[in-house]
Structure formats: C-alpha cells, structure tokens
Chains A and B, each alone.
Chain A
Amino acid sequence: MKPELDKNILIFLLSSVGLIVLPHIYHIPAAVFGFFGLLFSWRFIGIWKQKWLPNKPVIFIAVVCGIALLYNQHQGLFGRDAGTQLFIIALGLKLMEIKTERDLYLITYFAFIVAASQFLYEQSILMTAYILLICCVLLATLVYINSGKAQTLSAIKTAVIITVQALPIALALFILFPRIDAPKWMLLNDPHQARAGLSDSMEPGSISDLGGSDELVFRVKFASAIPPPRLRYWRGPVLTYTDGKRWTQIAFQKPMRSPVVTGRAYQYKLLMEPQDKNWIFALDMPVEIPSPLTISSAYQLSAVDRSDNRTEYDLISYTDYNTGPINLGEYKTATQLPSEPSDKIKQLVAQLHGFDSAPDNFINRLLNHFRVEDFHYTLTPPLIEENPIENFLFKTRYGFCSHYASAFVYLMRVAHIPARVVTGYQGGELNKAGDFLEIRQADAHAWAEVWLNDKGWVRVDPTAAIAPERIEQSSSIDWHTTYGIAAANVPAYNWLKQARQLWGKVDYNWQRWVINYDNKSQANFLSSFGINDLKTLTYWMIAVIASITAVLCWFLLYHKSKSADKVLSSYNRFCKKLVKHGLIRNAGEGAKDYAERVKTKLPAQTADIDQITAVFIKLRFGRIVTGEDLQSLKRLVDLFRA
C-alpha cells in the first residue's frame, strides 16, 4: 500500500530542511550552497508543478555535477568541511527523488546529520536553541507522516511534547555518559586545512571570531619553581612591520647581543606538539639555547625544520632581563608607520601626553585610557574593513588581544616610542597530576613590546588592562568568555547593561558546563557524587534512567483515561455494595449476566439494578455518550441500597 504523498508533508519537510541548511551559508563554499539552493528551489516549485521535476537522466546529471563539485572543492570525503558538504549535497540530490515514505525518512535522517554538523562550527546557545527547534519540526514531519488525519498544529504539538519528555533522559545521558578522548588516528584532518595555530602575520580587523580550540600546543615541565601566571608569556613571532591593517615579521637577522639577565633562572623542558611551523615558544626571555635551535634578533626561537613528531627541548629563561640599546636600523623599523597618522589619533596621543611626557607616563595613561573608557574584551568582535586601528579606538571598541596590542603599538609609534607586536601564548594550565603546564591553542595571545632607554625592550600587555582575568587566571575557559567578565567591569547603570552581564554569565556557564564538559570536568563533577569508576557510573545511569522512565510512565500511562475509569469505578462501587450478599462479579462476566444473577437474589431492587446496568452498558459500549449519563450513573449508584 503506497500512501499518497501529501503536499503539506513536503512543504513541512522542505521548510525544515531549508532552515537546517541555512546557517551553513557561512561555512560552506558559495558553489556548494548555490548548488543546494538550486536543487532545493527546484523541488519546492515541484510541489505545485509536478511536471517540472527532473526525470532520471537529469537526476543522473545532477548527481555527476554534485560529485564533480565535491571533488573540485575538497578531493576527499572525510573531515569536517568535506563531510558537511557531502551531506548537504546528498540531501539536495535526495530531495529530487521523493517517491515513497522511505525517501521522506531518509531525508529527515540526513537533515539530522546536517543539523549536527552545524555544531561543529558554532556552539552558541542561540544556535543550539535554533537547531533544537528545527529538530522538533523534523520530528513533527515524522508525526505528520504517521497520522491518519494530519493536522499541522497537532503534529507540531505532539513533536514538542515528545521532545520535552525526552529531555530529562537526554540530560541524564549527557551528564553521565562517559567521555573519552578520541584516539589520534580518528582525528580527521582536512587535507587543505592548516592546523590551527599562530600565523606569521596578524590582521585584527579581519577576524571576527577567534575560535580558541582546546588543542594542545606544548607542555612545559619546570625543574623547580613554576613562574606565576602573570609572567607566563611564551614568545613567538615578533611582528614589526605594518601597512595599517596587517602586521608582519621582518626577515631574520643574527641577534645583535644577548640580554643582560638578573634574578632567578627558570630551567625547563619544553615538549612541542607537532606544528605547522618551526617556531618554538620559549618563556620570555630565553637565554640558554640548545644547539639545533636558532634565535632571531627579536629573540624568537625556531627549529631548523618543522616536525611532525613531538620534540623536547631543554631551555633556560630569565623573566628579569635588559636587552640594552638598539641601533638605528632597529629604531627605524620599530617606529615605522604606514602613513601620516590622522588628526584624531594625534589628538588622542596629545591628550594622553604622548608628545610631552616620559614614555613611562604615556604608557600608563594609555593603559588607563583603555581601562576607564568604554572598551570591551570579546572574542567575537565586529569586522572592521577600513582603518582598523582608528575605527577600533573610536568606534567599535570591541576586540581581543590583537586589537589592543596593535592599537597600543601604533599609538606608541605615533609618539615616536619604538614598539612592536609580539605574538605567542600566555598562561597555560597547571596539570596537577603531572605538575606541568599545558599550553593550548586557546591560550594564543598578542602583546606589545616597547623599547625604553636603559631598560631595553619591555613587555607591555594592554589586554591585561582591559581584561586582567585573562592574564591572572590563565585558564582556557576564561579565554572563551572574558567578554562577560569584561562587561562586568563597566558600571551597570541601566537594565540593558545588566541584561548583557546576565547574558555574559549565562554564556560563561554554557561554555563551562556544556561546551567544555569533557572527561576531566566530568570526572570532577561526578566524583562529588561519589562516582569514581565505570561500575558505579553504570549503576547510576541505570538508576537515573529507570526513575525518569517510571515518572514518565506514570505521567503518560496512568494519568490518562480518566472518564473511562470514572464509569468503571462507579460501576465497581455498585458491585462492592453487592459483595455483602455474596454476589461477586466474576472476571469476564458481562454486566447483563451479573444483573440477572443479582436480580434473582434481590428481586425487590430489580428496577434499580436494571437502570444502573443499562446506563453502564450505554456508557461503556454505546455510540452516543453524554456527560449526563455519567452523572446519572453516579447518582444511581449513590442512591442504591442493597
């Protein structure tokens, strides 16, 4: 039996498919999205114009086109981008061929996978709510297919009810399901996608989202004491040249001179994970350098060649250092400006006494300017197309470390103070079990260095002025959400700001408890309940799910069938009144037979018994039943005296 494919079902399904794919517009190439859009609109029009739908040869051509497109884009099937595109194209092609109910199911399942792939790109609360909503619509499609008399609203209602009922168990599973890190061989690296990491240039205005991944970059084990978080700056590429937008390195030279170091020496072993580049991130400032490594004039360490294996280096760094004087060439490059600064910027520098006071003074005033003015730290700043520094300073005022570092260096140079941007990592998480620091991609950072007379190159971190938590707490979670904390620094004098703060807090907890809920935080969380091994965990999981199921069963199954029970319970009351006469209704005995039996024993009440039985039978098996009948049954039973 082949059921007719309802137009409504198709509209329903196609709408939810469209909504699922829509957010991918940011992540997949325009060609792939366009191809899907074409197929999608074709199919949508096809709902009303059946004749316009493609026949077999056309579908075959479409499939070939899709494969060609995929091959052209990626030359592979695995990995996040390739996989997403594969499923989107498969979904689009499947839309062209909807013949039976089975096809509808297949499309729904594909749509669920595409929905999941969305989470590989974005994990915000809003996106989650959006995807959840669409999943409800997809489930509603399934309800619609399986309903005889389909009504859109009731299908959506049923789907929402099912989803809501499913949430408790889903949450329990989410908390209790053991998380294990995937083995390395399973990590699918996109062939054309570079590993995340620092690049050799920086363009603050052009990045609108800095996805801080949890990927490990290197580990450091100190021989004795570990430097405090505020000193944990891991030096990487030094960016000296700027064209106003982009900051780049200047070609390597031999180091001019070794810095003069004082204070305590930190001796440590640095274990680099495989990297795309040959840079080694030493603690600021490295002094003893093992032989295969080289050091640049900007004190950046690099290996001879990039390595696909983990490599370990023995290093010694001093956190108190003086690099001494610089030569003219260095001075020139460190005060280079792409063009004459605008009046607005000059005015700002003058206002902060950049031109007429000591560099120390100007630095402090500028940092204070960042602190007291309406500057915000965020990982998702707005894009700035033109004049990124000026627009950041005067207009957007939302940015992360690169924005602050570049603006700071630029203003220093305007005031003729040699300055440069240093990129690298900051902080690192202490692994208490192993007593070593773990530095992850999320710890990537950019700060500034200014050259001061007698002191040499001095590190200044403008981000610390705006978001000190970022530097002090040095936990990667804060990296994601400093936006919320930074907003908290601004005095809240209206509800909008309060709401923003609240949102920041929600977002922070979302990051902390949902996105970053990994095997470590799971172990921490569960051990507070005394769950320490897999066996206890399994028991807990079974117990929790069983109790939720019991509640659901009660709610779903016992709760209902009220009116039917009322009829039966009234009748049972009648039977109970007769028990004392030894007239027990046998299992399976019909009401009429029972009444006959009762009448022979209690002939005086024949009329009452007949009436009760008649009303009961009408309620149970009659075609037209009214509420009055139930009331009259109740009344009759109440009045019945046996």
Chain B
Amino acid sequence: MKLTERFRLSRFVAGEKAIDTPVTLNHRRIFILPTLRGLGFVLLIALLLLIAFVYNNNLTYMLAFLLASVFFVTILHSYKALAGLVVQKGRSKAVFAGEAAGFDIHINNPTDLQRQQLQVTQQDSQRLVIQAQGAAHITLYSITQKRGWHTAGTVTLSSTYPLGLFRAWSPIRFGLKALVYPKPALIEIPFPQISLAGAQQGFNQKRGDDFQGLQAYQSGDSIKHIHWKAFAKGLGVFSKQYAGEQSIEEIRLDYDQAPGHSIEERLSQLCRWVVDAEQAGITYSFALPGLKLPPDNGLAHYQKCLEALALF
C-alpha cells in the first residue's frame, strides 16, 4: 500500500476499495476514536488531577492515573472488540424501485472471544452479539430510488465495547449490488390491443365483468379491483376477480406501445404490464429498442424482462 493511499482520509469513513473476498478485520481496517462520553471521561480525569493537585493528595492522584490508564487500556480492548472478525458478503435480491433492497452479510467469529454489542450500519443499523467461534448472518436494508444497479455502499461494523469510551469502527465496501426494477406504474392501463397470431381479431381487451370472487391482493393487482369495502372494514386487502381475465392468452408488450411522457414513465408502464401479465398467467412477448424476447411466461422469462427494463 502506498503511503499516500494509507493516509487517505476517506479510508476512515468509506473504507478500502470495494472487494468481493471475505475481509478479516485487522489494524488496517479498524479505526478507533473516543466517543463524546470518552471525552467526558477525559474531563473527569482532568478534574480529579486538579483536586489532587490542589489538595496535594496522592491517593486522588492515584485514582486519576488509574482512570487515565483504564482509558488508555480500553483502546486495546476496543480494537479487540472487532479484530479478527471475518466479514463476507452474501446475496442480494432484486427489488422494485422504492422498495428496500436487502443485502446479506455474513460475519464469522473464528476467535475464542465473544463479541458484544456489534453494530452493523448501512442505512439503518442493527445490533448483534456473536458468540466465540460463532457466526451471524444479517440482512441490511436500504431504500432504493431508481431502477438499475443499486450498490450497497459502505457497511460499517462498529462497537463501543467495553466501556463506551471509544468507538472502534471498520468501514467495508463490498461489490454488493442489487438489481432494481422500475417501479410498476400505479395507473392501470389495459394491455395493448394488438395481440399476436392466434388471438382473435377485434377481441375485446377489456376485462370481463363476470365477478367470480375475491382473492388476496398481490402486487400488480389493479387498484380498481381492490375490494375497498372489505379494506375499510379492516379485513385486509382483497382483489376482485373477474372471469373475463382468463380470456386473454397471449399479448405483446412493446416499448413503442407503452404510453408515457418520458422513458421512465414508459418503462414503468411496461413493468406494470409484465407484472400483471405474469400474475394473470398470460403468455407475453417483450420488446425494447434493441431487444426482443419471444412470447413466453414463467419466472425466468419474467426476470429476463424485468432485468432488461432495469438496465435499459
């Protein structure tokens, strides 16, 4: 490591360059600074020294020195609170924009020391205790804003153990990223009118109005179909099911046909259609400028479409 690299201030906050391999926390990765309480403790020591000085009292000197020494020794203990832990990245699931993306982090404690009150922070923080020779698996959530790749940013492990006078922290950057699909449009617009070969000409794309029953709400269900009365009664969210829905067998979802003022709006609408179609069990083909997917349905196809939307 170059000297300039070593003294880069951002290492304190952002950590080293992002890596994918497990990270063992050592002196290069752990930073320690006094907390506000630690500064209060220093003030206490100063006050004791003043008392000892004014009254020329050796035992008060001794107490002040003991506390100063405790303060000093605590630095080593703070280091020990983190040192030796092995942090490994785990999986992350794709989400729709606006939802929280979860990143899995595995923390391994290969030492004989119990780790108290570890705090793992990303956007929110979690506290945990890891037993000697133990391991912990946690998922950190961060709210996504835009479609595309959402990087996890810096994961910070910190601890104020044992006395709360020092905070030892270790910022780690993994190449953790989660795919973020566009946010499905809220406004329900019927599927595009033109169906592929096999569909009848002039087939009414409007949903049937033969009410069949209620079904628990799933994301992508039209809000118009939500049974508001049941919701108002506090029974939960239900969607009304209509018989006509089964009648559509194959549709074509094309970027060019998606309404919207901007690219994002169009993608958002397409996303909505993909979700709806997948849920309704309709076979759909998918087209974006520069990408064409043949008609299909099922999870693999669904994910391929959404991925394409996310990364468009």
Contacts and interface: CB of A to CB of B under 8 A. Distances in A.
Interface of A: 1, 80, 101-102, 105-106, 109, 112-113, 115-117, 119-120, 123, 128, 131-132, 135, 139, 142-143, 145-149, 158, 162-163, 165-171, 173-174, 177, 179-182, 186-188, 214, 514-518, 549, 552-553, 556-557, 560-564, 567, 588, 590, 620-621, 623, 625
Nearest to B53: A182
Given A143-B162, A621-B22, A167 B116 contact: no
A162 B80 CA distance: 13
Interface residues of B, number: 59
A148 B48 contact: no
A108 to B, nearest CB: 9
Nearest to B41: A109
A621 B108 contact: yes
B156 to A, nearest CB: 15
Cβ-closest 10 pairs across A and B:
A166-B69, A564-B110, A148-B129, A169-B69, A119-B59, A173-B65, A148-B117, A170-B69, A170-B66, A170-B65
Contacts of B66: 132, 135, 163, 166-167, 170
18 contacts: A105-B40, A106-B40, A123-B59, A128-B59, A139-B70, A142-B165, A143-B162, A166-B72, A180-B53, A181-B56, A186-B54, A187-B54, A515-B58, A560-B112, A564-B111, A567-B110, A620-B86, A621-B88
Nearest to B117: A148
B164 interface: yes
B70 A166 contact: yes
Contact of B164 (A106, A142, A561, A590): A142
Contacts of B56: 179, 181-182, 214, 518
B79 interface: yes
Given A148-B127, A557-B76, A620-B108, 6 more contacts: A119-B57, A143-B163, A179-B61, A182-B55, A515-B58, A620-B110
Contacts of B110: 561, 563-564, 567, 620
B160 interface: yes
B68 A146 contact: no
Contacts of A158: 162
Contacts of B161: 143, 146-147
DSSP class of A's interface residues: helix, strand, loop or mixed?
A: helix
A163 B135 CA distance: 30
B230 interface: no
Contact of A112 (B54, B63, B118, B163): B63
Contacts of A623: 135
Contacts of B164: 101, 105, 142, 145-146
A312 B165 CA distance: 54
Contacts of A517: 58
Given A112-B63, A113-B44, A560-B112, A120 B84 contact: no
B47 interface: yes
B37 A167 contact: no
Given A517-B58, A562-B112, A625-B133, A162 B65 contact: no
Task: Pick from A116, A142, A167 the residue with the most CB of B within 10 Å.
Answer: A116
Given A146-B117, A182-B56, A186-B54, A556 B72 contact: no
Contact of A182 (B37, B54, B111, B112): B54
Contact of B73 (A112, A165, A561): A165
Contacts of B22: 621
Interface string B253-295: 0000000000000000000000000000000000000000000
B163 A162 contact: yes
A628 to B, nearest CB: 14
B305 interface: no
B201 interface: no
A560 B81 CA distance: 12
Contacts of B59: 119, 123, 128, 131, 514-515
Given A146-B116, A174-B62, A109 B73 contact: no
A139 B51 contact: no
B37 to A, nearest CB: 5
A563 B80 contact: no
A564 B84 contact: yes
A557 B74 contact: no
Given A123-B59, A166-B66, A117 B74 contact: no
B13 interface: no
B297 to A, nearest CB: 37
Given A146-B116, A149-B116, A557-B80, A552 B73 contact: yes
Contacts of A177: 61, 65
B186 to A, nearest CB: 33
A148 B128 contact: yes
A553 B79 CA distance: 11
Contacts of B57: 119-120, 123
Contacts of B55: 80, 120, 182
B45 to A, nearest CB: 9
Contacts of A170: 62, 65-66, 68-69
A177 B58 CA distance: 11
Contacts of A174: 58, 61-62, 65
A472 to B, nearest CB: 27
Nearest to B128: A148
Contacts of B48: 112-113, 116
A101 B47 CA distance: 22
Interface hub of B58, B129, B160 (most chain A Cβ within 10 A): B58
Contact of A142 (B72, B80, B128, B163): B163
Contacts of A556: 76-77, 80
A170 B51 CA distance: 17
A177 B66 CA distance: 13
B122 interface: no
A170 B66 CA distance: 5
A553 B37 CA distance: 24
